[in-house]
Amino acid sequence: MSLLIRNGEIVTVGSRTRADIFVENETVTRIAKNLEVPAGVEVIDAAGKLVFPGFIDPHVHIYLPFMATFAKDTHETASIAALIGGTTTYIEMCCPNRNDDALAGYQLWKSKAEGHSACDCAFHMSVTKFVQETEAQLRQIVADGTASFKIFLAYKNFFGVDDGEMYQTLELAKRLGVIVTAHCENAELVARLQQKLLAEGKSGPEWHEPSRPELVEAEGTGRFATFLETTGATGYVVHLSCEKALQAALAAKSRGVRIHVESVLPHFLLDKTFAERPGIEGMKHVMSPPLRDKKNQAVLWNGVATGAIDTVGTDHCPFDTGQKLLGKDSFVNIPNGIPGIEDRVNLLYTFGVKRGRLDLDRFVDAASTRAAKLFGLFPRKGTIAVGSDADLVVYDPEYRGVICAKSQHVNNDYNAFEGLQIEGRPSVVTVRGKVQVRDGKFIGDRGRGRFLKREPSHF
C-alpha cells in the first residue's frame, strides 16, 4: 500500500517544512518537494494544511474495573474516538487490583486490546502489590514488550502501594531500566479527610476536592521524588494538577532527580467550580487529582510551554451519568474519571496554539514526541522521518466546530468539555500508511491496531 501526502506543511519538533511525504509498506520512505511517484498511488492534497506526526496519548483507561463498576469504552470505541481526534497511539494503564494476580491481569488487559483496536497501543503495567512472585512476573511482562510500570500512591487497599512496595518497585525498575509512572496523592490523608468531611455531613461532589487538597498531591509528588532519588530510578508523575505539586517535582529535578511530568487535558480547561455544580453536573467533573482552583491553569500552560511539564495526556476514563450516580449519597462513591481521548489534540491546539500559549514545536512535543521518547517508541512513533511508521495527521487549521456529546464517538452520554469551540481538526489520519479517518469520519479498518513492543531504556 503506497500513499503520497502532497504539499503540506510538515511540523516536527525542531522543524517546519513544506514538502511531500511518500509512504510504502507502512513507513515513510521519502520526504522531499515535488516527489515523482508511480501512477495509481493514492494522493492526499495537503495544501493549506499542517502535517503532524500521529499524536500519542500516554495515559488512558479503557478496560477498567474500578469503584464498583467498569469504564465504558472498549478498544473499538476508544480507538475510533482517538483516531478521529488525531491520536494514533495510546498507552493504556493495565490495572489489576491488589487482590488480582499481576500476570493474569496483564494477559486479560492484553486480550481486551489485541485485534480490537483501530490504532496502535501499548501498556503501562501497574504494580499494585509487591509479593514473592512479583519480580519474576514483572520481568516476564517487560520481556513481553511492556517496558514501563505504574504505581498508585492513592486508592488505599485497591490499587495503592505502601512505601515499602514503592521502594521495591523502583529498585527493580532501576535494575531493569524501566520508567515508573506514578499517581501521587497521599492515600492516608485522603482517607482521613474523606472520613472527616462525611462526619460533618459534607457528602456532595463539591467536597471531593477538599478531600484531596493540593498539599496532599504535593506530598505524594515530593515523596515519589525522594524515593526516585534514593533508588536512582526514573519516574514520571501522571496527571499533575497544581502549582504546589509542580514545585515539588521541579525542586527534585533541580537536585538531579530523573523525574518527568505529565498533566492532563481537564486540568488545563476545567476548574473546581465545575465539580461544585449541584448533583449530577458536579459528579460528571469528579476525577483524581481533582479539578483545582483556576489559578493553577496558567501555571500548567506555562509549564507545558517551557517544557517543565513534559507531556499532555488525557487520563481518559469514561463513566456515564448512571455510573456517576453511584455517588449520589457520598462523593467517595462517585467513580473517578473524565473522558477526553477524542478532544485532546483539538482542544490543545485551540486553547494552546491558537491562543498563543504554546508554540507549534511544544504542541507537537507535548502531545506526541516527548511521550514517544520517554516510553521507548521513538523514532518509530512521535516524528515524521524516513523509516518512521506512517502515522500522519493532516490537520485543517481552518476548521471550526463545537464539542458536543451527541456527536462524539467515545462511549459516554456526556462530554465534560461540552460547548467549547474548536479551531482546527484532523482532516486525514493514517495509521501505518492506511487512511483511517477523513473529515471526522472513521473509514478504516477496525482491527488495524497493533500492540507495540517496547524495550527498556536503561535511563
Residues that bind ligand URP (CB under 6 A): 61, 183, 239, 287-288, 315, 317, 336-337
Q: Where are the beta strands (DSSP E) in 194-244?
A: 235-237
Smallest distance, ligand URP to C-beta of residue 182, A: 11
* The entry of ligand URP, Zn ion, none that residue 316 binds, CB within 5 to 8 Å by partner kind: none
* The entry of ligand URP, Zn ion, none that residue 362 binds, CB within 5 to 8 Å by partner kind: none
**Ramachandran angles phi, psi of 175, nearest 5°:** -65, -35
* The entry of Zn ion, ligand URP, none that residue 263 binds, CB within 5 to 8 Å by partner kind: none
DSSP letter for each residue of 141-168: HHHTT--EEEEESSSTTTTB--HHHHHH
User: Which residues 6+ apart lie within 8 Å of 193 measured at CB?
Assistant: 210, 211, 212, 213, 216
Smallest distance, ligand URP to C-beta of residue 375, A: 17
DSSP at 407: G
DSSP at 129: -
Smallest distance, Zn ion to C-beta of residue 67, A: 12
User: Where does this chain bind Zn ion (CB under 5 A)?
Assistant: 183, 315
Output the residue with the shortest Cβ distance to Zn ion: 183
Smallest distance, ligand URP to C-beta of residue 316, A: 9
* The entry of ligand URP, Zn ion, none that residue 314 binds, CB within 5 to 8 Å by partner kind: none
CB atoms within 10 A of CB 86: 29
Output the residue with the shortest Cβ distance to ligand URP: 336
* Alpha-carbon distance values, 217 to 123, 153, 154, 183 (Å): 24, 10, 10, 9
Q: Give the residue with the Cβ less far from Zn ion, 183 or 208.
A: 183
Q: Give the residue with the Cβ less far from Zn ion, 315 or 342.
A: 315
Smallest distance, ligand URP to C-beta of residue 27, A: 33
* Alpha-carbon distance values, 182 to 34, 150, 268, 294, 420 (Å): 47, 6, 20, 24, 30
User: Which residues 6+ apart lie within 8 Å of 251 measured at CB?
Assistant: 222, 225
* H-helix or E-strand spanning residue 172: helix 163-176
* The entry of Zn ion, ligand URP, none that residue 388 binds, CB within 5 to 8 Å by partner kind: none
Q: Give the residue with the Cβ less far from Zn ion, 160 or 444.
A: 160
Q: Give the residue with the Cβ less far from ligand URP, 113 or 153.
A: 153
Smallest distance, Zn ion to C-beta of residue 239, A: 6
Q: Give the residue with the Cβ less far from ligand URP, 22 or 66.
A: 66
Q: Give the residue with the Cβ less far from Zn ion, 341 or 435.
A: 341
* The entry of Zn ion, ligand URP, none that residue 380 binds, CB within 5 to 8 Å by partner kind: none
* H-helix or E-strand spanning residue 13: none
Q: Give the residue with the Cβ less far from ligand URP, 117 or 336.
A: 336
Fill in the amino acid letter for 111: S
Smallest distance, ligand URP to C-beta of residue 151, A: 11
* The entry of ligand URP, Zn ion, none that residue 117 binds, CB within 5 to 8 Å by partner kind: none
Q: Are 71 and 64 in contact (CB under 8 A)?
A: yes
| N-to-C CA span, the chain | 37
Q: Give the residue with the Cβ less far from ligand URP, 9 or 185.
A: 185
Nearest to 300 by CA among 255, 273, 262, 341: 262
Smallest distance, ligand URP to C-beta of residue 275, A: 11
Smallest distance, ligand URP to C-beta of residue 59, A: 7
Nearest to 87 by CA among 405, 445, 345, 375: 345
Q: Give the residue with the Cβ less far from ligand URP, 103 or 237.
A: 237
Q: Give the residue with the Cβ less far from ligand URP, 73 or 391.
A: 73
For residue 28, give the 3-state DSSP assignment: strand
Cell of 43: 494522493
Give dist(CA 55, CA 124) in Å, integer: 17
Q: Are 305 and 348 in contact (CB under 8 A)?
A: no
* The entry of ligand URP, Zn ion, none that residue 337 binds, CB within 5 to 8 Å by partner kind: ligand URP
Smallest distance, Zn ion to C-beta of residue 316, A: 8
Nearest to 391 by CA among 425, 433, 441, 360: 433
